Chains A and B, each alone.
Chain A
């Protein structure tokens, strides 16, 4: 059987669970709101960052355009253009301009600058001086280069291709055009020159197969569909911006890695604070619930204690009425109930006493009436014999006195029985062999049972060998067993079977006396041990009362099991003498 949880514990656990649930819900809501707020802020920050980068690119592009314009308008370039269309025309030796681009690029802080002749052959190149004479065929396209503005383009360098913000200006004093191609390299240095934003890392991806992991997947997605994409992890959010050339070819991908460490740190701080506050709340809730449970259940516990006191027979117990709420009302009702119970008990006791006295009076009257009637008859016979037959008076007197003595003896016996019941002594305990006592009692009744003319009663002894001994007053226990045997014999006027059994169960010894009489009704069973109650025509009603008194004095129990027509079995249980 499991341990029963008391009411205070239940209240405590209920309040605690409620507090924890409330704290958890609050924490979950706070955490969710914080996360959502941070995600919004991160998205806004990333969008602002990307926008800032785009503006910076545009600003750099404008700057490049301005510088290239300055180169195109410089004296040396204008002179070159004039010389190209001058008398020397196409025969102009442009070798003297070999280093011009480097000088001009240095002056204008341009990474790329090429002066390209009308035949698209490079006259001077700042980024790759050795490339003079080579053709830039793409310039031959019919394009309004000024309207084209600044665009991204891969430029040839000695050590490979480089990405640049490029613009083209043309100088055409005649039908011949001098091209000025200039720009700024877009590389890690370019990115490093952008306004630093804390927690943001920029990476220019030109080798699309190089990135691994999340960045690699992002780059692959952008390659499939060149558009701005974003991926978010716990640690960072990465935005990939495709950088396309003039012909919409994907030249590079700019990865904007925005560290979420600060956000995560702040989020973690808030969550930890919430957890701490929640923990403190839970702890406080526990204490509060403990206090509340104690306070709420104290009147109930007092009431329960009072109930237990009442159950133990202390009918004058009163519950403490400490409040005017439902519990207080309950205590008041309880007190009212106990008061009523006490009154009812007193009335019942009074009634039972009256009934007992009535029963006693009836029994005494009945018991005494029977002997008194022969005494009256006998004395009347003596009177009539004296008056009518003096000669026979002696004989009548002799017979009558004999009868009077017999009846007086009977009266004396009845009074003795009542006297014995009234003065049942305290048991003198000693070790008693139960089986031996059962045999002795049966032996005591053998002569009576075998008397001629008496209905045959068969006696069975079913004695368990392991019964052992009990601590009991042998005379009282024998008297009780004898009364049960007498009661059984009275229950079998037509004969039957008397069975006496002994048994041991754990530390208890059972002694049973069964008959095969007519049995008892449940109502009879209920009143069987009531003093002066009897179902027999002649009896004082004290036999079983004495048995119950003896068993009770020996701290034992007596029970009866009977059904109408099935006989009855009385069972005495006493503590075994270990």
Chain B
């Protein structure tokens, strides 16, 4: 007998929890094989936007599972009252994979490049194990910025190989096809359990120890013994437009039935989205919740002289294609002709917005920037949670974006694979916590 989706999810989580409660003691050694459906073409930390963490390079700090900032490569930091000057103390005895010690001088260049993307006038002073960050403008979100993957500290070798300070080092790298990692014995946090990790991209056989289960209607038959792990919703599926009539988007937001999209097309891997940030991240997403109102949508578009409207989706994404077709079907109920297209120049765009961090303000600000609403981004104040709701509300009222669902990432995990504490971070699955039974 096959269980419903929610029951399978609950059972797999329960099984997974039992694996980490100490029923089996962790052991060192072994190789973990991984299959990922999306092919990586670069190891740039900024491009890692999956729930599976591949810890080659590390950031100075990170956002914990409850939103708190945790130190990684630093052990302490201070800032002046107006957040213009920050001083960080680097963790001692941290070395890169090639044995070079982590110093302020080696950490400063990649940090400066990352921070320049947000703070144009930022400057960094490096001295010994201390890094001082200056700016003429206040940088209250500096820690969140430093927690982003793009702010990872790394170097590149003469052969352009990535050299970080993380628990795994790169041994072979065939872009788009294969990545092999080896345990970094001198990792400052202690050697990881695994000896090595072999990652294959785009194979999709499901025979590896760990593999991702892409969201979408294509149902993969999984062995009964296989455990799964699903992240917290960490990508927003939404419709955006910069040139369509806002009334059209308002009508579409009213008539699109999100529940079937989530339950059927996304196979329950996520949550219906009426807001930009997921409920777990913002805490107020339920305030935007509504039900489809086709009649109201019809009234809205009745005064419009609408021609066929194209809705573009990524050409190779079958899930987004099925969502686009469903939206077109819903739109037809209101007399709106939507033509799904894989060409990239549609009036409307269906796209996924992956969350990069667990910092709500940072993520909302990033969405606002991408929507061309920088002014709203500047209104965000992490210290004032109400500004998040106000900014998100105003962004939604602009009718430039229609949130549809927030999508989880799901991974299949072989029975021999165990994680030290998989549920401690619902946002990320840490490879350094994994170990395998022989």
Residues in A lying within 8 Å of B, measured CB to CB: 88, 92-93, 95-96, 98-99, 128-134, 158
If A93-B263, A96-B267 touch, does A130 touch B4 (CB 8 Å cutoff)?
A: no
Contacts of A132 in B (CB 8 A): 260, 264
Chain B residues 170 to 226 lying within 8 A of chain A, measured CB to CB, are: 217-219
16 CB-based A-B contacts, threshold 8 Å: A92-B4, A93-B4, A95-B263, A95-B267, A95-B268, A96-B2, A96-B219, A98-B217, A98-B264, A129-B322, A131-B329, A133-B257, A133-B264, A158-B328, A158-B329, A158-B340
Query: Binding site of A, secondary structure by majority: helix, strand, loop or mixed?
Result: loop
B260/A93 in contact, CB under 8 A: no
Q: Which residue in chain A gives the minimum CB-CB distance to B340? A: A158
> Distance (Å) between the CB of B304 and the closest chain A CB?
22
A99/B329 in contact, CB under 8 A: no
Beyond A88-B4, A130-B322, A130-B329, 20 additional pairs, beta carbon < 8 A: A92-B4, A93-B6, A95-B263, A95-B264, A96-B4, A96-B5, A96-B219, A98-B217, A98-B267, A99-B218, A128-B325, A129-B325, A130-B265, A132-B264, A133-B257, A133-B260, A133-B264, A158-B325, A158-B328, A158-B340
B79 at the interface (CB under 8 A from A): no
Contacts of A131 in B (CB 8 A): 329
Hey, what's the 0/1 contact readout for B386-427 against A, CB within 8 Å counting as 1? 000000000000000000000000000000000000000000
Contacts of B340 in A (CB 8 A): 158
Query: Binding site of B, secondary structure by majority: helix, strand, loop or mixed?
Result: helix
> Distance (Å) between the CB of B289 and the closest chain A CB?
20
Contacts of A130 in B (CB 8 A): 265, 322, 325-326, 328-329
Contacts of B322 in A (CB 8 A): 129-130
**What's the Cα separation between A93 and B263 when bound, in Å?**
9
Q: How many A-B residue pairs have CB under 8 A?
A: 46
Contacts of B260 in A (CB 8 A): 132-133
B329/A134 in contact, CB under 8 A: yes
Interface size on B, residues (CB 8 A): 20
**What's the Cα separation between A98 and B319 when bound, in Å?**
12
**What's the Cα separation between A92 and B219 when bound, in Å?**
17
> Distance (Å) between the CB of B271 and the closest chain A CB?
15
**Highest count of chain B CB atoms <10 Å: which of A93, A129, A130:** A130
B265/A98 in contact, CB under 8 A: yes
Q: Which residue in chain B gives the minimum CB-CB distance to A132? A: B264
**What's the Cα separation between A409 and B179 when bound, in Å?**
177
**What's the Cα separation between A98 and B219 when bound, in Å?**
9
Contacts of A128 in B (CB 8 A): 325, 329
Residues in B lying within 8 Å of A, measured CB to CB: 2, 4-6, 217-219, 257, 260, 263-265, 267-268, 322, 325-326, 328-329, 340
Contacts of A134 in B (CB 8 A): 329
Contacts of A158 in B (CB 8 A): 325, 328-329, 340
**What's the Cα separation between A133 and B257 when bound, in Å?**
11
**What's the Cα separation between A343 and B328 when bound, in Å?**
126
Contacts of B265 in A (CB 8 A): 98, 130
> Distance (Å) between the CB of A225 and the closest chain B CB?
35
Contacts of A99 in B (CB 8 A): 217-219
Q: Which residue in chain A gives the minimum CB-CB distance to B326? A: A130
> Distance (Å) between the CB of B4 and the closest chain A CB?
4
> Distance (Å) between the CB of B327 and the closest chain A CB?
8
Contacts of B5 in A (CB 8 A): 93, 95-96
Contacts of B325 in A (CB 8 A): 128-130, 158
Contacts of B217 in A (CB 8 A): 98-99, 129
**What's the Cα separation between A130 and B338 when bound, in Å?**
13
> Distance (Å) between the CB of A504 and the closest chain B CB?
108
Contacts of B329 in A (CB 8 A): 128, 130-131, 134, 158
Q: Which residue in chain A gives the minimum CB-CB distance to B324? A: A130
Contacts of B326 in A (CB 8 A): 130
> Distance (Å) between the CB of B7 and the closest chain A CB?
9
**What's the Cα separation between A273 and B393 when bound, in Å?**
90
**What's the Cα separation between A98 and B215 when bound, in Å?**
13
> Distance (Å) between the CB of B113 and the closest chain A CB?
44
Contacts of A129 in B (CB 8 A): 217, 322, 325
Contacts of B4 in A (CB 8 A): 88, 92-93, 96
> Distance (Å) between the CB of B355 and the closest chain A CB?
25
> Distance (Å) between the CB of A85 and the closest chain B CB?
14
Q: Which residue in chain B gives the minimum CB-CB distance to A159? A: B339
> Distance (Å) between the CB of B114 and the closest chain A CB?
41
**Highest count of chain A CB atoms <10 Å: which of B218, B263, B264, B267:** B264
**What's the Cα separation between A481 and B325 when bound, in Å?**
135
Contacts of A98 in B (CB 8 A): 217, 219, 264-265, 267
